[in-house]
Amino acid sequence: MLDVPIRLYGTLEGVLCFEHVGEKITWLPEHRLFAQAVAHLIALALAQNERRKIEEEKENLQGQLLQAQKLEAVGRLAGGVAHDFNNMLQAILGYTDLALEGIDPDSPYKKDFMEIHQAAQRSANLTRQLLAFARKQAISPVVLDLNDKISDLLKMLRRLIGEDINLAWMPGASLWRIKVDPTQVDQILANLVVNSRDAIAGVGKVTIETGNKTFDEEYCHDHTGASPGEFVRISVSDDGCGMDKETLEHVFEPFFSTKPIGEGTGLGLATVYGIVKQNEGFINVYSEPGHGTTFAIYLPRCEVPMEDKLSDSSPEPLSGGNETILIVEDEEAVLQLGTRILEGLGYRVLKARGPREALQLANENHSAIQLLITDVVMPEMNGRDLSQKLRDLMPDDLKVLFMSGYTADLIANRGVLEDGVKFIQKPFSMRELATIVRQTLDA
Whether the pLDDT of residue 343 is over 70: the answer is yes
Distance CA 235, CA 209 (A): 5
User: Can you give the pLDDT at residue 54?
Assistant: 77
| 398-436 tens-digit pLDDT | 889 998 876 655 555 555 555 556 888 888 888 889 999
Residue range 190-218: average pLDDT?
Answer: 90
- Provide the CATH number for the domain formed by 29-136 in this structure: 1.10.287.130
Q: What is the mean pLDDT of residues 326-332?
A: 91
What is the structure's pLDDT at 262?
Answer: 45
CA distance linking residue 1 with residue 3, whole number of Å: 6
In CATH terms, the superfamily for domain 324-442 is: Response regulator (3.40.50.2300)
- 334 phi and psi, to 5 degrees? -70, -35
Q: What is the pLDDT of residues 222-263, one digit of tens each?
A: 777 788 899 999 999 999 888 888 888 777 776 566 555 445
Longest dimension (CA), the chain: 116
Helix 29-102 / helix 268-278 crossing angle, nearest 10 deg: 110
Q: Note whether 29-136 and 142-300 share their fold.
A: no
Share of the chain above pLDDT 90, in %: 22
Domain-by-domain residue ranges, the chain? Answer: 29-136, 142-300, 324-442
Q: For position 8, what pLDDT does the model report?
A: 80
The answer to pTM > 0.85 is no
The CATH architecture that domain 142-300 belongs to is 2-Layer Sandwich (3.30)
